[in-house]
Amino acid sequence: MSAKLSLRQPDRASLMDVSLETPRLTDGREMWRIARDAKSLDLNSPYFYVMWCRDFATTSVVARSADGVCGYITGFARPEYPDTLFVWQTAVDAAQRGQGLARRMLHHLAGNRYRFVEATVTPDNIESDRFLSAFARDRKAEVHRSPLLGPELFPVGHEPETLYRIGPLGA
């Protein structure tokens, strides 16, 4: 009798095992940990993530597996343009990357509620460019890129931020 090999890594939940939920206050610390461990994101204070879960929970999402929070998107509806979701930060735990979880979260969050999605991306962030471009293709929407924030607005060492405006969103 031969043993069956499992290709699934034991610490990696499949996308089917991950639920998408509104963040809770208690999720803030895990969101901070995922951002810290990513090493490519601007890390905000732990307080920031907890307060974001309080004040912007309805425009954000967490991905939850049996082991806890494994990804999140923080976002907000632009006050002057309530049909536009601005994506502040997207992060996926290392064990969950490469499965399309970020796209699944953004589709969930944007739903049919928003006509446009915006985000800013630094020129060297190829992963975010691919992620947002793939989302736009999925939604049959255009991506308009334009300079938004120059490096002179930031402390030394921060790259400029390009605005990605995706829309209008299709189903």
Confidence of residue 156 (pLDDT cuts 50, 70, 90): confident
Report the CATH number of the 15-167 domain: 3.40.630.30
Sign, CA dihedral 135-137-140-145, equals positive
Supply the pLDDT for residue 1.
35
For the chain, give the percent of residues with pLDDT over 90: 85
Give backbone dihedrals phi and psi of 27, rounded to 5 degrees, phi first: -80, -15
Q: CA of 155: how far to CAs of 4, 42, 43, 123, 161, in Å? A: 55, 13, 15, 17, 13
What value does the mean pLDDT take over residues 130-153? 97
For the sheet containing 61-65, what is the strand order?
19-21, 61-65, 68-78, 81-92, 116-121, 161-167, 142-149
Name the token pair of 26.
Answer: 């208690």
Domain ranges for the chain = 15-167
- pLDDT 10s digits, 52-78: 999 999 999 999 999 999 999 999 999
Contacts (Cβ under 8 Å, ≥6 apart) of 104: 15, 20, 63
Residue 4 has pLDDT above 60, yes or no: no
**Considering the entire predicted model, what is its pTM?**
0.88
120 and 75 Cβ atoms separated by less than 8 Å:
no
Higher pLDDT, 11 or 8: 11
Give backbone dihedrals phi and psi of 72, rounded to 5 degrees, phi first: -160, 160
What value does the mean pLDDT take over residues 20-44? 96
